[in-house]
């Protein structure tokens, strides 16, 4: 990984900028981060060593571009075309540009941009729902070969599924805020975006917890040095088809407490077996119903990313379907929320047996 900062300094434009690390660092050395200046590294990708060879080689990794500013900042309009020239000359390198100014993209690209350059990834940053709803429709309509999205600092729960469904964003990165005055980040917001990514076949990275991290309603203050390792340790990254969620450590809920919780849920507790479902059970017997439950769990829930996840269990038509909704065993989102079983992993036979047992316990309790 290489960082290339052709200019330094930026202007705050949205809520995510409130505690900008560029401002924080500059402030600590008495520098004004709002003054935008060209840096001595402007030609970094073209620099050569004494032997006349280019210093940066493709094996050095991605070139993270403009990390102490915004590439599409108005104040840098006079320099940007020269940067494009450099990027054009280094087609052997991959440049990664993160921006909060995606609306300026069209007026900032070079004349030969056409439908995008292979060596440039644009990452649109959206810290809240308002910015996601403003920036993502613009982002998805631009000629870009490689698109990613980042929500960091993530300031609230965001729903981006309708944008991911377009199949144009290849990866979403989420993380909390660091530094003094950091705003909290709730793990459930992270899990919600991850779930949407899994359902849309999009890679997901949980980059860092941030300094103030909420998990299961408890607030944790996390040292800077632990914020990235903690996120990595959670195992909540997702790569479609890679089954990396198999490494997430979790604990199944206590069965008695689970049924008590379900009983307190207005939505879950309204499910009942009707007479026709009771008749179906007595006609076929509990063993057959259990076989059906096993089949439904295996075919509709067990895959790493089940088809139509969230809608795969009908609301009626079989006693097992009713029991699945009543016990929150109906989709991978509910299994994660109520049973702690992480989404994005292929269910083991032990996990499948657990789910079947919960379903059958509910049916048994509700048959009379
Ligand atoms: S756009 Fe980025 S670099 Fe610029 S002020 Fe906002 S957070 Fe800082």
Segment 162-213, tens digit of pLDDT: 999 999 999 999 999 999 899 999 999 999 999 999 999 999 999 999 999 9
Dist. CA 14 → ligand 1 center (Å) = 8
Cα separation of 104 and 81, whole Å? 14
Protein residue whose Cα sits closest to atom 7 of ligand 1: 17
Percent of the chain with pLDDT strictly greater than 70: 100
Q: Are 8 and 36 in contact (CB under 8 A)?
A: yes
Q: Which of 189, 220, 247 is the last residue of a domain?
A: 247
Q: Are 347 and 302 in contact (CB under 8 A)?
A: yes
- DSSP classification of residue 222: -
Q: Which of 192, 221, 247 is the last residue of a domain?
A: 247
What phi-psi label fits residue 9: left (phi over 0), alpha (psi between -120 and 50 degrees) or beta? left
Q: Are 187 and 199 in contact (CB under 8 A)?
A: no
Q: Ligand 1 in contact with 152 (CB < 6 A)?
A: no
Q: Ligand 1 in contact with 22 (CB < 6 A)?
A: yes
**Residues in the chain, pLDDT under 70:** none
Dist. CA 11 → ligand 1 center (Å) = 6
Mean pLDDT, the chain, as a whole number?
A: 97
Q: Residue 368's pLDDT is what?
A: 80
Q: Which of 8, 15, 19, 20 to mutate to test the pocket of ligand 1 (most atoms within 8 A of CB)?
A: 20
Dist. CA 311 → ligand 1 center (Å) = 39
Query: Is the same domain home to 236 and 302?
Result: no
- 349: tokens are 């036979």
Which residues form the domain of 75? 2-247
Atom of ligand 1 nearest to the CA of 98: 2
Q: Residue 183's pLDDT is what?
A: 98
Query: Is the same domain home to 179 and 268?
Result: no
Q: Which of 6, 12, 124 to mutate to test the pocket of ligand 1 (most atoms within 8 A of CB)?
A: 12
Atom of ligand 1 nearest to the CA of 12: 5
Q: Residue 60's pLDDT is what?
A: 97
Cα separation of 211 and 219, whole Å? 10
Query: Is the same domain home to 211 and 313?
Result: no
Protein residue whose Cα sits closest to atom 6 of ligand 1: 17
Q: Ligand 1 in contact with 131 (CB < 6 A)?
A: no
Cα separation of 154 and 219, whole Å? 16
Q: Are 150 and 123 in contact (CB under 8 A)?
A: yes
Q: Residue 246's pLDDT is what?
A: 87
Closest alpha carbon to 237 in 190, 167, 178: 190
Query: Is the same domain home to 200 and 317?
Result: no
Dist. CA 173 → ligand 1 center (Å) = 17
pTM: 0.93
Q: Which of 247, 276, 291 is the last residue of a domain?
A: 247
Query: Is the same domain home to 99 and 217?
Result: yes
Contacts of 26 (CB under 8 A, 6+ apart): 9, 32, 33
Q: Which of 6, 14, 15, 17 to mutate to test the pocket of ligand 1 (most atoms within 8 A of CB)?
A: 17
Query: Is the same domain home to 223 and 285?
Result: no
Q: Residue 24's pLDDT is what?
A: 95
Query: Is the same domain home to 240 and 263?
Result: no
Q: Residue 260's pLDDT is what?
A: 96
Query: Is the same domain home to 69 and 215?
Result: yes
Query: Is the same domain home to 242 and 316?
Result: no
Q: How far apart are the first and last CA of the chain?
A: 64
- DSSP classification of residue 238: B
Q: Ligand 1 in contact with 100 (CB < 6 A)?
A: yes
Query: Is the same domain home to 59 and 161?
Result: yes
**Count of domains in the chain?**
2
Q: Ligand 1 in contact with 17 (CB < 6 A)?
A: yes
Query: Is the same domain home to 240 and 312?
Result: no
Dist. CA 120 → ligand 1 center (Å) = 20
Query: Is the same domain home to 170 and 295?
Result: no
Q: Are 157 and 182 in contact (CB under 8 A)?
A: no
Q: Which of 10, 34, 126 to mutate to test the pocket of ligand 1 (most atoms within 8 A of CB)?
A: 10
- Looking at the DSSP bridge assignments, the partners of residue 125 are 150
Dist. CA 100 → ligand 1 center (Å) = 7
Protein residue whose Cα sits closest to atom 3 of ligand 1: 69
């Amino acid at each position: 990984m290489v960082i290339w900062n052709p200019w330094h300094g930026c202007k705050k434009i949205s809520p995510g900028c409130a505690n900008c690390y560029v401002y924080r660092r500059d402030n600590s050395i008495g520098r004004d981060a709002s003054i935008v200046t060209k840096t001595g590294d402007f030609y970094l990708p073209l620099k050569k060593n004494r032997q006349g060879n280019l210093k940066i080689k493709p094996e050095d990794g991605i070139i993270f571009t403009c990390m102490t500013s915004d590439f599409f900042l108005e104040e840098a309009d006079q320099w940007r075309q020269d940067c494009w020239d450099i990027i054009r000359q280094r087609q052997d390198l991959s440049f990664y540009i993160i921006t909060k100014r995606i609306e300026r993209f069209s007026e900032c690209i070079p004349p030969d941009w056409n439908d995008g350059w292979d060596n440039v990834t644009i990452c649109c940053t959206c810290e809240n729902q308002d910015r996601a709803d403003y920036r993502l429709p613009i982002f998805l309509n631009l000629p870009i070969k490689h698109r990613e999205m980042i929500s960091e600092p993530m300031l609230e729960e965001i729903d981006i599924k309708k944008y991911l469904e377009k199949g144009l964003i290849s990866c979403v990165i989420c993380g909390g805020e660091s530094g003094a005055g950091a705003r909290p980040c709730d793990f459930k917001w992270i899990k919600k975006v991850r779930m949407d990514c899994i359902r849309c076949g999009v890679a997901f990275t949980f980059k860092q917890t941030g300094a103030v991290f909420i998990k299961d309603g408890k607030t944790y203050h996390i040292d800077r040095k632990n914020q990235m390792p903690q996120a990595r340790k959670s195992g909540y990254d997702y790569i479609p088809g890679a089954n990396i969620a198999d490494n997430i450590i979790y604990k199944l809920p206590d069965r008695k407490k689970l049924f008590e919780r379900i009983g307190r849920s207005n939505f879950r507790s309204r499910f009942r077996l009707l007479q026709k479902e009771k008749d179906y059970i007595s006609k076929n017997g509990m063993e057959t119903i259990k076989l059906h439950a096993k089949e439904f769990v295996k075919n509709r829930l067990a895959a790493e990313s089940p088809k139509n996840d969230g809608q795969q269990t009908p609301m009626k038509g079989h006693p097992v379907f009713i029991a699945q909704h009543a016990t929150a065993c109906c989709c991978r989102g509910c299994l994660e929320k109520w049973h702690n079983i992480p989404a994005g992993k292929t269910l083991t036979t032990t996990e499948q047996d657990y789910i079947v047992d919960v379903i059958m316990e509910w049916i048994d309790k509700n048959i009379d």
